[in-house]
Structure 1
Amino acid sequence: MTDRPNILVIMVDQMRADWLGVAGHPVVKTPNIDALAAQGTRFTDFNVATPVCQPNRASILTGRYPSVHGLRHNGLSLPYSQSTFVEALRASGYATALIGKSHLQRMTGHPQKKGSQPVTGPISEAVKDANRYDVESPENLTADEIVVPRPYYGFDHVDFTSDHGDRPNGHYLQWLKTSRPDDWQALRDRENQLPHNYSCPQAYRTPLPVELYPSSYIGMRGCEFLDAQDASTPFFALVSFPDPHHPFNPPGRYWDMYDPDDFEVELPFEAHETPNPVLKALREKFVDGSQFTAGQENFMATERHLKEAMALTAGMIALIDDQVGKLIDRLKANGQWDNTVVVFNADHGDFLGTFSMLLKGPYIHNSTYRVPFIWRDPERDGGTTDDRLASSIDIAPALLERAGVAPYHGIQGRSLWSGERREELLMEFEDNAYPKPYFTDRPANSRTLLTPDHRMTVYEGEDWGELYERVTDPDETRNFWGDPDHTVLRTTLIHKLVDELIGATETSPFPPFRA
């Protein structure tokens, strides 16, 4: 057995930090994830670098902010010029694998809306980049032969399950076609959904049986990778589930595992004492019926629809929890458990009822920026919690330090392994298109400063902002931005935010000469 630890990172998509049994959720049951926390450390204030899929996944791999690594918002790609901690592990002798959702490049073929493209001259972009970023495009991942240049951001073994719900493509689609050659198309046909009585937007009862559902496939492939490893070589595996991201379509028994009536909408829109213009604009579209509910952007819903979405999300989480149990059992059966670090994390959260909203969007709230993070390590005692302010960019330096690998210059995170403590944390948000509620003529762009006691968000081009007391108002329902009694505090936090922004600028490459 190698003296360096194996590392298994289990990633889920769009899951709130408080939707775990071990986090105190009154309804959702996650026995396998809870057991992982009982043997590890659960971070109670772990936050994203940005509450959006693509850029935060890139921040996890690079240990850098979106504004620095270049994948600033969905629809872009992580430049191949950016180093990842996976590359550093591979260079030090680790076997590396990506199984499931990657989302480091675009995974749709939808162009930007007309009118959103900039007007340019003979040179179209300030940054010249002729590299190919269509590896995760549907054109490639639905082809008979999937082309993946390896190593892919440091991964030698790549097994893609790209997109969400019951119709991802990639290697999963190839496997499904082989497994069910006669009816795979019918199983993915929206006209063939099973009968149900749910009416919430994006509720869909898939005819795919549990064993053919993407999360089951990813769990199976993850176990197969663990089985194939040589004990003399350490491995790093990212097993990445597209769930519990919408659409709301848990398969088989997971569909009616939870009853909508068992859930409560604890923070309806009316709970916010001082809603900002973004929240008000969303409410207006909900009231007049003009909001769009079939896409990726957040929207408001009725109490019944929110409860239905909660129940179906809980079913998807239950399926993931079962897969986590299978992965842990396989580590133990293979004799790998005693030398494997296991991390459980999500790329961002979901409103899931907060102020009557679903999904995610330009409105910032801890339901979308605080995510679950569990670190189980054979070198440390389990059953503990860690209240440190931590960020997605801190994962890369922590795993490198744990593996005994020095970080590369320009990494911006702080190692969780060595116990560094932050007094402040920066979060970025940059939207990729418009129009949106309130932001009708430009993409939303904001920066957030988080401290143990406060959350402050400043929006580009606006004279209003947000300032919340995290200790006395953990639900962020009263905005003190314009309160005269908070003027000194607001000024102090703005200075801290400026300091964080200065410290978050690019420092790579290091200048080899003085002049």
Structure 2
Amino acid sequence: MADQLRADYLGCNGHPTIKTLTIDWLAERGINFSKAYCQAPVCGPSRMSFYTGRYASSHGASYNSVPLKISELTLGDYLRPQGYRVALVGKTHMKADTEAMERLGVDPASSKGVLVSQCGFEPYWRDDGLHPDQSASADLEYNQYLQEQGYDGDNPWHGWSNSGEDPASGEIKSGWYLRNSHLPARVREELSETAYTTDRAMHFISECRDKPWCLHVSYIKPHWPYIAPEPFHNMYGIDDLLPHNAHPNERKDPHPVVKAFMAHRESQAFSSQEVRERVIPVYMGLISQIDHHLKRLFDHLKETGQDKNTVIVFTSDHGDYLGDHWLGEKELFHEASARIPLIIYDPRCGADRTRGTISDHLVEAIDLVPTFTELAGAAPANHQVEGRSLIDLITGDISSSEQWRQYAVSETDYAWRGARKTLGLSPDQSKAVMITDGRWKYIHYEHFSPQLFDLETDPCEFDDIAMTEPGQEVCKRMEKALFLWFRQRKTRVTMSDDTVEALTDNAHQRGYLFGFW
């Protein structure tokens, strides 16, 4: 999993200049899903959906730093009973439910306490990055590693891996500032975060030759700070940029929520062509760096003899606006933000029919948990998991989209953002949800009118037609579909459907004689 990687910034997904030879190689040998959506275009809630197989409104961790309930089962809970070692290398952006742990007397340092504190993963090496200050980075293992390699300072993560040096003055320039993105990071490339993450993943794989394993390799880049080490810092120039997907009309009378997000600092910055030309080439370089190290990882699988029995999934938690639609960051529902790359390579002969193909079926991040549990031979947890196994798509046993999924859904909770205050909303009012059938994209905002885009005739998403006469008819249909989706959430999670079936209409057999004369 990459962090903040747009689906269209891969060669196999149509980007004309980016170099992603390893990821493209994976797509040639697997199946590439062109209509994959995350369940929340923000790091934390998106990842909690990836890990639980449940929508954001179901698991409740609706934004970064909102704890995931201790009762939520995650991928590790489903795979460990099948004999798998389930581990993490890199980022989760998960916050533990420490209040519940304290109430229930769960020691965070105990074996169970560690698992519920780490999204069910064995934290082989966790690093969420984003440590600009000294206090937050004191115990960061990556900082200790850099210090052992001779990099000085209390926070070499910032001072070396995410800062550059002005060639004229020799002054250290922080990568947090977009104007410094073009500078090469001071760290040697082979010691960068991306390289170290790969090293730790390879080390884990070497330990697991004789036991089934599932490893979440979670790269921190190309998420900001946008700064890359040599030679990736200047691999691309302004001629390599995609056209700016923003129309002047989007600024004339924008939707109130979109307008409030346009006023954010990051949106103002990325609306500048100077900023885009400074940052996006580096964003592309960070992607190519991940691609470079994925080759190391895949070569290591082959060297250890595990390439022919390992399923590989490449994806991202969400996208990045990069100035498109006059926006920065993510959180709203344009394709740049909510659509994600998803490539699955299954080495078994049963997947031969779909090798090198592109699937336009609607798929969601929550589909990975049931996919992995089916691969591991676990019984499906249909009363809990809201995604659907992708195995039939991987093997080519489903050919019609009507047989699959009609809608994909993504949600956002922007209570923590300045847009909420601009709009005069209370924290519980700042919610929105998107539903798409692949052509129509309908967005419901609490307290505001909806938006509607026709992705078939308007793939750039410039024209909101919700208030037009034909658009209103589609809105009614999509609103009905959204209401159905809300009614179908899995809320009875503590008892399986099989148990309910076994207990149905037999109370008298169990000694409860109500209604007898």
- Pick the TM interval, shorter chain: 0.7 to 0.9
* Counterpart secondary structure, 1:368: helix
The residue that corresponds to 2:235 in the other structure is 257
The residue that corresponds to 1:33 in the other structure is 23
The residue that corresponds to 2:488 in the other structure is 503
| Bigger-Rg structure (1/2) | 2
Identify which range, 207-216 or 264-273, moves more after superposition: 264-273
Structure 1 pair 44–271 and aligned structure 2 pair: CA distance change class (3 A): farther
Query: 2: CA distance between counterparts of 1:348 and 1:481?
Result: 25
Q: Give yes or no for the alignment of 1:418 onto 2:392.
A: yes
Q: Quick check: 2:260–2:423 contact (8 Å CA) kept in 1? A: no
Structure 1 pair 201–77 and aligned structure 2 pair: CA distance change class (3 A): farther
Identify which range, 504-513 or 67-76, moves more after superposition: 504-513
Structure 1 pair 36–429 and aligned structure 2 pair: CA distance change class (3 A): same
Q: Quick check: 1:243–1:316 contact (8 Å CA) kept in 2? A: yes
* Counterpart secondary structure, 1:436: helix
Amino acid at match of 1:242: I
The residue that corresponds to 2:433 in the other structure is 447
1:133 CA displacement? 11
Q: What's the TM-score once normalised by structure 1's chain length?
A: 0.83
Instruction: For 1:103-142, list aligned pairs within 5 A.
Output: 103-105=93-95, 130=103
Q: Quick check: 2:34–2:358 contact (8 Å CA) kept in 1? A: yes
1:27 CA displacement? 1.7
Query: 2: CA distance between counterparts of 1:181 and 1:488?
Result: 62
* Counterpart secondary structure, 1:149: helix
The residue that corresponds to 1:344 in the other structure is 314
Instruction: For 1:288-327, list aligned pairs within 5 A.
Output: 291-293=264-266, 300-327=270-297
Match of 2:114 among 114, 133, 149: 149
Q: Give yes or no for the alignment of 1:209 onto 2:188.
A: yes
Q: Give yes or no for the alignment of 1:162 onto 2:128.
A: yes
Structure 1 pair 298–67 and aligned structure 2 pair: CA distance change class (3 A): farther
Structure 1 pair 64–134 and aligned structure 2 pair: CA distance change class (3 A): farther
Query: 2: CA distance between counterparts of 1:372 and 1:133?
Result: 37
Structure 1 pair 93–165 and aligned structure 2 pair: CA distance change class (3 A): same
Q: Quick check: 1:343–1:376 contact (8 Å CA) kept in 2? A: yes
Structure 1 pair 499–413 and aligned structure 2 pair: CA distance change class (3 A): same
Query: 2: CA distance between counterparts of 1:253 and 1:440?
Result: 47
Q: Quick check: 1:468–1:476 contact (8 Å CA) kept in 2? A: yes
Q: Give the number of the structure with larger relative contact order, counting CA–CA contacts within 8 Å between residues 6 or more apart.
A: 1
* Counterpart secondary structure, 2:441: strand
Structure 2: unaligned runs, 5 residues or longer: 169-174, 394-402, 508-517
- The C-alpha deviation readout for 1:350-394, integer Å capped at 9, x for no partner, is 112312322113x32111000000000012122111111011111
Q: Give yes or no for the alignment of 1:431 onto 2:414.
A: yes
Query: 1: CA distance between counterparts of 2:224 and 2:156?
Result: 21
Q: Give yes or no for the alignment of 1:384 onto 2:357.
A: yes
Structure 1 pair 492–422 and aligned structure 2 pair: CA distance change class (3 A): same
Structure 1 pair 402–23 and aligned structure 2 pair: CA distance change class (3 A): same
Query: 1: CA distance between counterparts of 2:157 and 2:333?
Result: 37
CA RMSD for the aligned pairs? 3.0
* Counterpart secondary structure, 2:209: coil
1:150 CA displacement? 4.3
Amino acid at match of 1:48: C
Identity across the alignment (%): 28
1:440 CA displacement? 3.9
1:339 CA displacement? 0.6
1:236 CA displacement? 0.5
- The C-alpha deviation readout for 1:41-76, integer Å capped at 9, x for no partner, is 000000011111101101011100111112111121
- The C-alpha deviation readout for 1:89-128, integer Å capped at 9, x for no partner, is 1111012210011211179xxxxxxxxxxxxxxxxx9x99
Q: Give yes or no for the alignment of 1:56 onto 2:54.
A: no
- The C-alpha deviation readout for 1:260-302, integer Å capped at 9, x for no partner, is 343243312416486322333455x4xxxxx434xxx886421
- The structure in which a higher percent of residues are helix is 2
Query: 2: CA distance between counterparts of 1:133 and 1:164?
Result: 28
The residue that corresponds to 2:341 in the other structure is 372
Query: 1: CA distance between counterparts of 2:86 and 2:258?
Result: 43
* Counterpart secondary structure, 1:422: coil
Structure 1 pair 134–496 and aligned structure 2 pair: CA distance change class (3 A): farther
Match of 1:394 among 342, 358, 367: 367
Query: 1: CA distance between counterparts of 2:96 and 2:273?
Result: 34
1:186 CA displacement? 5.8
Query: 1: CA distance between counterparts of 2:26 and 2:207?
Result: 23
Amino acid at match of 2:114: P
The residue that corresponds to 1:120 in the other structure is none
- Figure out how many residues of one structure are paired with residues of the other and give that number: 465
